Amino acid sequence: MSDLLLQAAASGIVTGCVYALVALSLVIVYKSTDVVNFAGGELLMLGGYTGLLALIYFELSYPLMFVAVIVAMYVVGAAFERITLSTITGRRYSKKAEADLVPMVVATIGLGYLLKGAVRVVPYTEEVRRLPPLLAGPPVFIGDVILQQQDLAIIAVTIVVMAGLTVFFGFTRTGKALRATSQNPRAAALIGIPVQSMRMIAWGLAAGLAGIAGILLSPKLLMTPDMGNVVMLAFAAAIIGGFSSLVGCVIGGIALGVLQNLVGVLISPQAMAVTPFFMIMMILVLRPQGLFGELAFKKV
């Protein structure tokens, strides 16, 4: 039994990494623009299919495919922010800043549906596809735990991405500007940071992250236009982590991945599906700031 649990935990860590990436995508958008991106899952799905297109149709090498997907997704995210979101915020018809949030969030819901619908229309997606993995070959044994090579790839890429983002946010000018914008947009504007561009960059970055998650996840899952439903797991991960920091996302993602698998082994496979939703409700009700977040002060 404990072997089973260990195996479940190990695979949980792997899927948790993917959730962490998407969670990070959600948190970056939230912290820079206060918007909850309900299209996160569809961006993941689009990333996967773009990767497939790059590999199969354009016959790019795997690393080049990575780059192509990141760039393509960046464009999609940035374009959405430029075209749709800034139109909504540009139109201040109410004093309440929060009043703009609702149309923006609804717009992300629309985006998700739009992307899903667009992908579904393409006849190529009617059949269930699979993206070739980054690392293929015989499974690897770590103690009694079996991991696929792709699983190791997922963990490795996630570590690289997290490290890269830590450097980006901590040491580059743009990264620091992004952090400043998310903490205090007005102050950032006063210093001379172009807040509009920062939002666009945040969205592009977030979309790119989701795209990477898509490339990592697609070899493990069957690819369909409905793949985006995993976004709820990312939301749960983000909420567990407190919707605020890189560390939170990683811990939240891994915690959720492991928890979900344990539920599957200990309770039932059906219960696995409801775990993220249950977690979301429980945490938001009992401890809304998650593990690492802060309770916001009510602004009067």
Q: How far is the CB of 128 from another protein (least distance, A)?
A: 17
Cβ(24)–Cβ(94) below 8 Å: no
Whose Cβ is closer to another protein: residue 113's or residue 292's? 113
Sole window of 140-148, 158-166, 202-210, 279-287 interacting with another protein (rule: CB under 8 A): 279-287
Q: How far is the CB of 186 from another protein (least distance, A)?
A: 15
- Residue 273 CB contacts under 8 Å (≥ 6 apart), including other chains: none
Mapped onto helix, strand or coil, the DSSP state of residue 59 is coil
Q: Is 280 in the site for another protein (CB under 8 A)?
A: yes
How far is the C-alpha of 43 from the C-alpha of 21, rounded, in Å?
12
Mapped onto helix, strand or coil, the DSSP state of residue 146 is strand
Interface with another protein (CB under 8 A), residue from 67, 106, 136, 167: 106
Q: How far is the CB of 270 from another protein (least distance, A)?
A: 5
- Bridge partners for 129 per DSSP: 223
- The DSSP letter of residue 91 is -
Q: How far is the CB of 27 from another protein (least distance, A)?
A: 12
Interface with another protein (CB under 8 A), residue from 59, 63, 95, 190: 95
Q: Is 267 in the site for another protein (CB under 8 A)?
A: no
With CB under 8 A, what is the number of residues at the site for another protein? 51
Compute how many other C-beta atoms are within 10 angstroms of the C-beta atom of residue 69: 27
Q: Is 84 in the site for another protein (CB under 8 A)?
A: yes
Going from the C-alpha of 59 to that of each of 44, 62, 68, 86, the distances in angstroms are 21, 9, 12, 36
Cβ(283)–Cβ(240) below 8 Å: yes
Sole window of 142-150, 191-199, 248-256, 277-285 interacting with another protein (rule: CB under 8 A): 277-285
Determine the angle formed by the axes of helices 246-266 and 269-286, rounding to 10 degrees: 140
User: Which residue ranges make up the site for another protein (CB under 8 A)?
Assistant: 30, 34-36, 84, 87-88, 91, 93-96, 98, 101-107, 109-118, 120-121, 232, 235-236, 239, 270, 273-274, 276-278, 280-281, 284-285, 288, 296-298, 300
